[in-house]
Structure formats: C-alpha cells, structure tokens
Amino acid sequence: MATYTKKTQQTDRIIRRAFLRVLKTKSFDFVTVSDIVKEANIHRSSFYRYFDDKYQLAECIEKEIMGYMRSERLKWMDKHPKTTLADPEAMAQLFKSIDFFAPAINILLSPNGDPSFEVRLRNAMFKNFFKNSKFDDVEDDKIELMKLFSINTIIETYKYWTSPHRKLTAEELAEMLSDMYKKGFIYAVNHL
C-alpha cells in the first residue's frame, strides 16, 4: 500500500511539473492535455486518473501555493501578534517563505500563466489582508482604490521576488515596501 501511495504522489508531481514546464513556452489558453502528457511522458489515461482537465490541474497547484502562503503568514503572525503586515520584518519573512514555490509562482503569474491565478490571489489578499482592520467593511471608493493599489503592488512585488533575475534581498525589498506603505511613494523613491 505504501508503494502505491508513493507512486501516486510521484505521478501527481510529474504531471504538475510537466504542466509548469509547458507553461514556460506556451500560453495557458493554448496548452492542451496532450502537451502535458507528452512533456510528462505518461499516457493520457494517467493524466485523467488525477485531473479532469488543465483547469483542475492549475487550480490544484494554485490552491497548494496559496494554502502554503496563508499558512506561513499565519504562523508568523501567531509568533508576532503585534506585528502588522506593513512591518519590514514580516514582509521579508513572507518573501522568504514563498521561495519554495517561487518557480511555480513566477510561471503562473507570467504572461503564459493562468490568468485566474492572479485573480484568485488578488481576491484572497483582498479578503485576508484587510480582515479585522478599520477598513474591513468600509464602503468608500477612495478606500477601495487604496486597497486595490496595495494589492496590485504586492502582486507585482511577488512577480519581482519570484523572478530568477531579482537583485534585491528580502530585507531590502521589504524595507522599500514598508517605507512606501507607511511614509508614501515619494518618500520611498527619495530614500532609495
């Protein structure tokens, strides 16, 4: 039984990795199950034992990533209950925690990636980042725009952080973002 479970997990990993490799060169909209099984070097029927289609496969990968990110953020916040997400140390820790999934996040947020991943990520952040804040249930256009601005900045920062070409450390990036959030964009730019 343990051997079967191990083989099942291995095949699942092979399919997920093959899918991400295909997305490096082909847009999500044009990726087919045939592309994935060819890259994975498995039979089409093996793919369907694990996933209904590429959408379910993408959703499984994305849920795993988002669950991990949420878990890491909650662990950090439990250990540092008085810390806000705008704290540079908390931000740096968040960046470091996503390193494990950086290649997958980078691919999924790329122009070839699944557009719904960015939407789901944005919605999760919108829901969780402002939860229990004074802005949680405020219905004001200006506040909604500021929330969107904040979330878009974080997503673009994730794209930068998960890029293999990043040059800033987690601490440098977190300090810059913290200055921008706490002191404003102009201040942050003038103090680079």
Write down how long the chain is: 192
Q: What is the distance between the alpha carbons of residues 33 and 48, in angstroms, rounded to a whole number?
A: 9
Q: Are residues 66 and 21 in the same domain?
A: no
pLDDT in the model for residue 188: 80
pLDDT in the model for residue 138: 64
Domain span at residue 123 reads 58-190
Q: Are residues 107 and 163 in the same domain?
A: yes
Q: Are residues 107 and 176 in the same domain?
A: yes
Q: Are residues 106 and 178 in the same domain?
A: yes
pLDDT in the model for residue 147: 79
pLDDT in tens, 129-154: 666 555 666 677 887 888 788 889 88
With a cut of 50, which residues of the chain have pLDDT below it?
none
pLDDT in the model for residue 139: 73
Which residues, at least 6 apart from 37, have a Cβ–Cβ distance to it below 8 Å? 18, 43, 44, 46, 47
Cβ contact 57:31 at 8 Å: no
As for how many domains the chain has, the answer is 2
pLDDT in the model for residue 74: 83
Q: Are residues 140 and 67 in the same domain?
A: yes
The domain that contains 41 carries what CATH number? 1.10.10
Q: Are residues 92 and 141 in the same domain?
A: yes
pLDDT in the model for residue 141: 83
Q: Are residues 76 and 23 in the same domain?
A: no
Q: Are residues 40 and 68 in the same domain?
A: no
- Max Cα–Cα distance, the chain, nearest Å: 61
pLDDT in the model for residue 26: 96
Q: Are residues 34 and 109 in the same domain?
A: no
Report in angstroms the alpha-carbon separations of 75 from 69, 125, 130. Answer: 10, 16, 17
**DSSP track, 21-75:** HHHHHS-GGG--HHHHHHHHT--HHHHHHH-SSHHHHHHHHHHHHHHHHHHHHHH
DSSP code of 109?
A: T
